[in-house]
Structure 1
Amino acid sequence: MKIATLQFSPHLGAVPQNLSHATALLSPLKPNSIDLLVLPELAFTGYNFPSLASITPYLEPTTAGPTTEWCIATAVRLGCHVIAGYPETHTDPTTEQTTQYNSTVTVSPTGSILANYRKAFLYYTDETWASEGPSGSAANPGTYTDTAVPFFVGTLGALGKVGHGVCMDINPYRFTAPWTDYEFAKTMLAHDVRLVVLSMAWLTHRLPEEIEADPGTPDMETVAYWRHRFLPFLEASMEREILVVFANRCGVEGNVVGVAHVENGVQVEEGDRVCYAGSSCVMKFQQGGVRMFERGEGVGILGKGEEGVLVVDTEKTAKYALQSGPV
């Protein structure tokens, strides 16, 4: 299987520009050259919205907004499955109650909608506007039980059984659950998932100046953290190989607390700013360790500030061992 991740730096609220930029970054890909394309969390709206009011102009109806339209067009053009994050607004036809979710849509190579997943474990930024996904934990808001299955596990066309989550899903629930609960990883193992896909907007503690000085080098502290959140996979990988796709975004992003202005047709936000870790990659858990695929002459992992497409062929040998580091 050939898996691609698109890592880029969307501008907050600049949806048309972000759509065009993503399309341009994908231009080197030829039709039918990949099987799966994964984009980050809230791929085209940006992530750092501080309130429901600030994100409301960019909410998209369930699998019916600009993100889904782009995914359908791209999936058909490239002949591959596409997964991308978007801010969903859903109105229950029975109660007429409207609820917002941090969601992803999955589209088949023929343009059919295969899945709409709603993030289960919310980061504090999400909690300002989104509700937990309706399965599992959301049946009892504010509570997580290990008998619930709040994350996506299902068959996605020719991809077969896939486990899917969004960013914070791999962390302990609300950072209050025990670190060793490993809710997401253990759910994937319980359902014998061999392909796990994550759309992310994962932050880094590094300063923007550090990213700008060396954008092509991955943030290995972040990569080590991701690896550690799948520690249960290490023992399980003695009997089964498991692929985990980390599709993160990069760049520095403000929010709309302050007064925004426009530069060269792109909205520039003033207020709190956050920096994203980039470092998108595909890990292969096998024989009690983690290995990485190759990219050209080196390791298949994008830099912390690098925009571009990473393509890995999972049929090839994962050549590079990923060593454990401090968490």
Structure 2
Amino acid sequence: MTQQLGRLTVRLRIAVIQLNPQIGQVSGTTARVNALLSRIEKYKPDIVVFPEFALSGYNFHCRQQIGPYLSTVGQGPEWDLCHQISRQLSCVTVMGYPEKSDDGSTGQKVYNSVMVVNSKGELAFNYRKSFLYQTDDEWGCSENPAGFQTFRLPFAQKARDSSGGLHDVSIKSAVGICMDLSPYKFEAPFQDFEFSSFHLENATELILFPMAWLNSISVTANTENPKRREKQIAESLEAIRFPMSGSQGEFQWDVSLLDGTRVEEKPGHNFLGPSHENSDDTATDTFANPGQPDMSNLNYWILRFMPFLAYGGRGSWFMEGLLDPILSKLRGLRFSYMGGSSEKPWLFENRNAVAVLCNRCGVEDGSTVFAGTSSILKFNGQHGDTENNLDTSNSSVELVGNLSKGYEGVLIRDVEFEIDR
């Protein structure tokens, strides 16, 4: 018979590694990671998270170009590095990579994937991106046939009961990759919040999210004058004295632990950029303040977790039965909408979840500028009737820590959250 433990407090030490990998520079990126390991090791992290396509670079335009970087599960440079890190640090290691897989009768398919390697150096889970971005389509990436998924991650003696006793714990976990957080193909209704609704309904407690998310200055399929935008990117990088690939090897260190350990190190030159007035670029044709986070993107990420956020309007929706017609149409597919159900205004109330968003930084092709701003968020399940802002000012989400938009860096935090067992 399973022992009922009640409310437990879990404490995990999480390290987030923000990188600027470039296509054709796998060995160089790997060397930078190895140079960090001795410093990371002394903090004894439980989880180390890397970005989407952490070693290979991201901006591939055809199958032939990405071909040399594809690996099968359990092989390749990403596997070798994750296996090494997990064994060396006795931690869970999470890293994005381009996967090739022979799916039997359908032949070889390629995926945008993330491997989760346990503290023994064994594969714990392999997740394939479900919602693809336009760049994924260019090299023939396939969608995850399983869709969004959950899995269990065990941690020894990391949960404390009300009497102070320690317990082994299995955390209900998930992986998402970049575009998974947005509406499907940017065509689905924005308010469906597909990814966060799935994990709300499945009571996911830990979400690990490698990304290659863009800054607003990037050239995309919707950019009206790509050549003009590329010129603006070059001018913006010159103004902050960055090369066309962005900064590499100038690491920001941000460590803040519950035992009082504090480390804050900034790159040697031009950390804030030419203007210190705010942390956002002031126009779509500039990339300024590289040492500050990209707050517009951070607030968007938080918004996309709307079902996890307190929102005062849910009470009236529930009392007036406004969700019932919508939920009746979703019957058999979902039982919640924007965080509410026909039985309860806010399903996440009094629950906790942690999201680890590890983005990359840098520039590729002179046209794609990544947003950095890797962050750790804790959703606390409180203040359900009082909040109306769906951004960092919402008191139901705690910004545990974040990095800058423009520099490689290491963010390490102790995160405490509550679960029921």
Q: For the residues of structure 2 that align with 1:232 and 1:316, how far apart are their CA atoms?
A: 18
Q: Which amino acid aligns with 1:221?
A: S
**How is 1:155-174 mapped onto 2 (pairs within 5 angstroms)?**
155-158=152-155, 160-174=171-185
- Whether the 8 Å CA contact 2:353–2:417 is kept in 1: the answer is no
Q: Which amino acid aligns with 1:301?
A: N
Q: 1:189/1:291 Cα in 2 relative to 1: closer, same or farther (>3 Å)?
A: same
- Whether the 8 Å CA contact 1:41–1:104 is kept in 2: the answer is yes
Counterpart check, 1:226 vs 2:223 = no
**Structure 1 residue 5, shift from structure 2 partner:** 0.7
What's the C-alpha RMSD, in Å, of the aligned pairs?
Answer: 1.9
Q: For the residues of structure 2 that align with 1:97 and 1:156, how far apart are their CA atoms?
A: 31
5+ residue gaps in structure 1? 136-149, 255-271, 294-299, 318-327
Q: Deviations over 1:108-165 (max 9, x none)?
A: 1110111111100000000112110121xxxxxxxxxxxxxx1121102326210211
Match of 1:120 among 112, 116, 130: 130
Counterpart check, 1:302 vs 2:400 = no
**Structure 1 residue 290, shift from structure 2 partner:** 1.2
Counterpart check, 1:253 vs 2:364 = yes
- Whether the 8 Å CA contact 2:174–2:204 is kept in 1: the answer is yes
The corresponding residue for 1:154 is 151
Match of 1:277 among 364, 371, 394: 371
Q: Name the SS of the counterpart of 2:105 in structure 1.
A: coil
Q: Which amino acid aligns with 1:223?
A: L
Calculate percent identity across the aligned residue pairs.
39
- Whether the 8 Å CA contact 2:114–2:175 is kept in 1: the answer is no
**Structure 1 residue 239, shift from structure 2 partner:** 1.6
The corresponding residue for 1:134 is 145
- Whether the 8 Å CA contact 2:356–2:375 is kept in 1: the answer is yes
Q: For the residues of structure 1 that align with 2:116 and 2:351, how far apart are their CA atoms?
A: 25
The corresponding residue for 1:47 is 58
Q: How many residues align?
A: 279
Q: Name the SS of the counterpart of 2:309 in structure 1.
A: helix
TM-score, length of structure 1 as denominator length: 0.81
Match of 1:291 among 398, 406, 410: 398
**Structure 1 residue 52, shift from structure 2 partner:** 1.1
Q: For the residues of structure 2 that align with 1:126 and 1:113, how far apart are their CA atoms?
A: 24
Q: For the residues of structure 2 that align with 1:111 and 1:32, how far apart are their CA atoms?
A: 19
Match of 1:7 among 7, 13, 18: 18
Q: Name the SS of the counterpart of 1:309 in structure 2.
A: strand
5+ residue gaps in structure 2? 1-11, 156-169, 218-232, 243-272, 274-288, 311-346, 384-395
Q: For the residues of structure 2 that align with 1:27 and 1:308, how far apart are their CA atoms?
A: 15
Deviating above 4 A after TM superposition, structure 1's stretches of 4 or more consecutive aligned residues are none
- Name the larger-Rg structure: 2
The corresponding residue for 2:284 is none
**Structure 1 residue 232, shift from structure 2 partner:** 0.8
Q: Which amino acid aligns with 1:154?
A: F
Q: Deviations over 1:232-266 (max 9, x none)?
A: 10144432111111000011111xxxxxxxxxxxx
Q: For the residues of structure 2 that align with 1:217 and 1:108, how far apart are their CA atoms?
A: 33
Counterpart check, 1:314 vs 2:389 = no
Q: For the residues of structure 1 that align with 2:410 and 2:92, how far apart are their CA atoms?
A: 15
The corresponding residue for 2:90 is 79
